[in-house]
Amino acid sequence: MADQSWKEVKFRVGDTDLQVITGGTGKPLLVLHGELGFPGWLKWNAALAQKRTLCIPLHPGFGKTPMADWIMDVRDLAAFYSRFVREQKLGPVDIIGFSLGGYIAAEMAVANAAQFKKMVLVGAAGLKPPTGEIMDLFTLTARSFLNKNVVDTQGDEFKKLFGGEQTPEQYEAWEDARAETARIAWRPYLYTQSMAHLLANVADLPTLLVWGKQDAVVPLAAGQLYQQKIAGSKLVTLDCGHMPEVEKPDDFIREVTNFLG
């Protein structure tokens, strides 16, 4: 994260600390990162920050936010973030959730869709795919798992994030993230059986689903099921893997900015 247009701010949510990366100008946009933590301030962050104030919490147990032992599953974490939105008077707020972050956003929406204006889910976990399986990140090293998140490991944004030798700091951050993901989303792994039924609660919430056609982590079938279950939602597929914001940043920026308005 070489771009210093962002800053880190610590919030207190009840008795729990929350470290938040924020940057940009304009109406707030809540961004929930995936299962290996916040990767860095990328081209898409900089583009959206021209007109929006990005608010990117580091999930409890991921990196600089300490673990909250009372958060036992993704639904607990969703309730925690709903409290953050309420106490900071952000709502109704636009939200983008990536992978695990999309799962959290979906849990927040089924509990109270009115806290959001618009929702973007990018390769979101949370649903059991009708075909295929969510990739088990614990059968691989973190670096091998990351490589399977994209089709092209030689792309500019991917090399910017993960090129070169793995640093001790990266290793520690990835292992912390993997441990916390296992703690809150292991049984069942990165989905809940009730989600397909609860998504009927997401009424009148404009929702954009962005998926890579070659997503090897959360199969496109999950995105198609989200589209079926969220009334009026739009599914956009890009020619890439699990990280369209990294592999196809220009297409991703265009779709998201057009949707958010």
DSSP alpha helix (H) spans, the chain: 43-48, 74-87, 100-111, 142-147, 156-162, 168-185, 195-198, 220-229, 244-247, 249-260
CB 90 within 8 A of CB 17: no
CB 261 within 8 A of CB 29: no
1 found inside a domain: no
207 found inside a domain: yes
pLDDT value for 26:
95
| Average pLDDT over the chain, rounded to an integer | 95
Edge-first strand listing for the sheet containing 52-57? 6-13, 16-24, 52-57, 27-32, 93-98, 116-122, 207-212, 234-238
Taking the CB of residue 45, how many other CB atoms lie within 10 A of it? Answer: 26
pLDDT for 150-199, tens place per residue? 999 999 999 988 887 888 888 898 999 999 999 999 989 999 999 999 99
Q: Classify the C-alpha dihedral 12-97-139-164 as positive or negative.
A: negative
Instruction: State the residue for tokens 């709502």.
Output: 91
122 found inside a domain: yes
The mean per-residue pLDDT over the stretch 117-138 comes to 97
The mean per-residue pLDDT over the stretch 27-40 comes to 95
Question: Does the structure show a pLDDT above 80 at 1?
Answer: no
CATH code at 126?
Answer: 3.40.50.1820
172 found inside a domain: yes
Instruction: State the residue for tokens 């088990």.
Output: 136
Least confident range from 100-109, 137-146, 157-166: namely 157-166
pLDDT band at 2 (very low <50, low <70, confident <90, very high): very low
pLDDT band at 4 (very low <50, low <70, confident <90, very high): low
| DSSP secondary structure letters along 50-63 | TTEEEEEE--TTST
Beta bridge partners of 225: none
**Which two three-digit tokens encode residue 197?**
């039924």
CB 101 within 8 A of CB 33: yes
CB 166 within 8 A of CB 144: no
User: What range defines the domain where residue 117 resides?
Assistant: 6-260
Report the number of distinct structural domains present in the chain. 1
Q: Which of 93, 88, 92 is nearest to 28 (CA)?
A: 93
The mean per-residue pLDDT over the stretch 68-88 comes to 97
Angle at alpha carbon of residue 108, lines to 105 and 112, rounded to 5°? 140
Omega within 30 of 0 (cis) for the link into 28: no
242 found inside a domain: yes
Question: Does the structure show a pLDDT above 70 at 17?
Answer: yes
